[in-house]
Amino acid sequence: RVSSAVQDKDTIAKSSKKGKTKPVVKLDTNPPKGTRDFYPEDMRLRTWLFDQWRAVAKTYSFLEYDAPVLESESLYTRKAGEEVTQQLYNFVDKGDRAVALRPEMTPSLARMVMAKKGGLPLPLKWFSIPQCWRYERMTRGRRREHFQWNMDIWGIAGVEAEADLLSAMVAFFKRVGLTSEDVGIKVNSRLVIAEVLTELGIPEDKFAATCVLIDKLEKVPLDAIQGDLEELGLDRSVIEQLTQVLTNNSIEGLEETLGPDSEAIQELKKLVELCEAYGIDDWILIDASVIRGLAYYTGIVFEAFDRKGVLRAIAGGGRYDKLLETFGGDPTPAAGFGFGDAVIVELLKERNVLPSFESSGTDTVIFAMNQDLYKVALGVATTLRENGQSVDVVLEQKKPKWVFKHSDRIGAKYCVIVAPDEYENGQVSVKDLESGEQTAVMIDALPEWVQGTD
Ligand SMILES: OCc1cccc(Br)n1
């Protein structure tokens, strides 16, 4: 029985066969709410972006890993009010298990590291490009999935890890044609907040949730989080004093507040020195207002942004030394970043540095002028493919006009025509689709011809 939802007249096309009306449900061709289809041209862009991410990961000697998109919900049941856990794409499966589509990759990575119980030689530098999910009421029509380049270093306690990660982030920006005029990376340390909260007598077990609240303050006025503050037992004056400190955008300014012995100041100074050694200091800004919305960050945090201030954060990351312990694992230092696929593409389009993806990448379209020569064309196609060309065989009898139009539409470079006259001389006709020049080539000489093409 077709569900009542599709019984309405708009979606049923009546097909009358022998007078019987058999309702045919018209398929809704949209992808599920908040998700995207990637048609070939979209896929070429996505593959190009992932190739840039993989190339940088390789030059930084990071190894690729992956994990299921479906995880136990228990990986994300942190009680710090983070957006990412409040918008979990979760459900109970047919085995009555509480599961979720991963909203981020770091907990899966932590699970994988923990599963090896110290059997993994540290430090490890791993990367992944997982599709991550959230279930947001479509009030704002925002996406529910994105691909996020994750780069993480486990086993290094010093800011050397953060500096290497920042350098990798900059290497990507430079690789895709962005400069430090286009993008900056704000750097802060949650130790700044920790030291201020300690000074104000706030117990350490409230730090994470306070950070999440402060991060929310960037988007909503203080009144909107008053309830959360009271729930945390935080006096409004604490937040006002804290936000005062967070307006600092220099180490010197912070030093006045925190004093020269501050651990936060020491680590920020060292990180800046290392960034100078990487040659990326012109990308880096100290900005004490950067908190990031994930509860598990424990030290340095950073956020890449477009300097015109038009777009949302491009990428973000930081140190999360306690994550494994929250899963019952051994204390293991860790730092990493996440880099979404949507904002960076918006930025590249806006800065006009996105390559064109119109061409299919096909080198040669081949067709037989008549059916008798079809098998000859297949042999020629095989020779061209075995010599490394991407070859599109016209699989049905078509007139040259159609073939040239098709070749042009897919952006092929050459068209090989198998025609009776040339074939009698053991040749095919090759048309250079850019110059329009057409020449006869011996079939036996095609490997050399391929080598001579660009
Ligand atoms: O950046 C937060 C996030 C998580 C999962 C999916 C999407 Br879209 N966005």
Q: Are 334 and 153 in contact (CB under 8 A)?
A: yes
C-alpha 294 – ligand 1 centre gap (Å) = 12
C-alpha 189 – ligand 1 centre gap (Å) = 23
Q: What is the pTM of this model?
A: 0.91
**Ligand 1 atom index nearest CA of 146:** 8
Among 76, 84, 346, residue to substitute to test ligand 1 (most atoms within 8 Å of Cβ): 84
C-alpha 256 – ligand 1 centre gap (Å) = 37
C-alpha 103 – ligand 1 centre gap (Å) = 6
Among 75, 87, 102, 134, residue to substitute to test ligand 1 (most atoms within 8 Å of Cβ): 134
Rg for the chain, CA atoms, rounded: 29
Mean pLDDT of the chain: 92
Supply angle C-alpha 27, 33, 35, rounded to 5: 100
Q: Are 431 and 379 in contact (CB under 8 A)?
A: no
Residues contacting residue 117 through CB under 8 Å, at least 6 positions apart: none
Closest CA to ligand 1's atom 1: 340
Report which residue type is found at 227.
G
DSSP letter string, 71-89 = EEGGGG--SS--HHHHT-E
Closest CA to ligand 1's atom 4: 103
**Ligand 1 atom index nearest CA of 340:** 1
How much is the ipTM here?
Answer: 0.97
CA distances 379 to 29, 341, 384, 425, 442, Å, are: 39, 42, 9, 16, 13
Q: Are 373 and 418 in contact (CB under 8 A)?
A: yes
Q: Are 322 and 301 in contact (CB under 8 A)?
A: no
C-alpha 140 – ligand 1 centre gap (Å) = 13
The pairing of strands 145-154 and 334-340 is: antiparallel
Q: Are 297 and 187 in contact (CB under 8 A)?
A: no
CA distance 129 to 242: 35
Q: For residue 200, what are its two tokens?
A: 């104000």
Q: Which of 136, 154, 153 is nearest to 145 (CA)?
A: 136
CA dihedral 286, 287, 292, 296 (to 10 degrees): 60
Supply angle C-alpha 31, 33, 39, rounded to 5: 30
What is the average pLDDT across 280-297?
Answer: 92
110-137 exposure pattern, b = at least 16 Cβ within 10 A, e = fewer: bbebbeeeeebeebbbbbbbbebbbbbe
Percentage of residues in the chain with pLDDT exceeding 90? 77
C-alpha 203 – ligand 1 centre gap (Å) = 31
Closest CA to ligand 1's atom 2: 84
**Ligand 1 atom index nearest CA of 144:** 8
Measuring from each residue's beta carbon to the nearest atom of ligand 1, which residues come in under 6 Å? Answer: 84, 103, 132-134, 143-146, 340
Tens-place pLDDT, residues 324-376: 999 999 999 999 999 999 999 999 999 999 999 999 999 999 999 999 999 99
Place of tokens 């929310």: 216
Tens-place pLDDT, residues 403-453: 999 999 999 999 999 999 999 999 999 999 999 999 999 999 999 999 999
Does the pLDDT of residue 7 top 50, yes or no? Answer: no
- Choice among 17-21, 58-62, 101-105, 249-253 with the minimum mean pLDDT: 17-21
At residue 237, the pLDDT reads 86
C-alpha 88 – ligand 1 centre gap (Å) = 10
Among 133, 147, 149, 215, residue to substitute to test ligand 1 (most atoms within 8 Å of Cβ): 133
Closest CA to ligand 1's atom 7: 145
Report which residue type is found at 213.
L
C-alpha 349 – ligand 1 centre gap (Å) = 21
At residue 78, the pLDDT reads 86
Residues contacting residue 308 through CB under 8 Å, at least 6 positions apart: none
C-alpha 297 – ligand 1 centre gap (Å) = 18
Q: Are 153 and 164 in contact (CB under 8 A)?
A: yes
Q: Are 444 and 426 in contact (CB under 8 A)?
A: yes
C-alpha 325 – ligand 1 centre gap (Å) = 25
Per DSSP, 283 falls in state G
Residues contacting residue 301 through CB under 8 Å, at least 6 positions apart: 187, 188, 189, 190, 290, 291, 292, 316, 317, 318, 319
At residue 379, the pLDDT reads 98
CA distance 344 to 315: 8
**Ligand 1 atom index nearest CA of 338:** 1
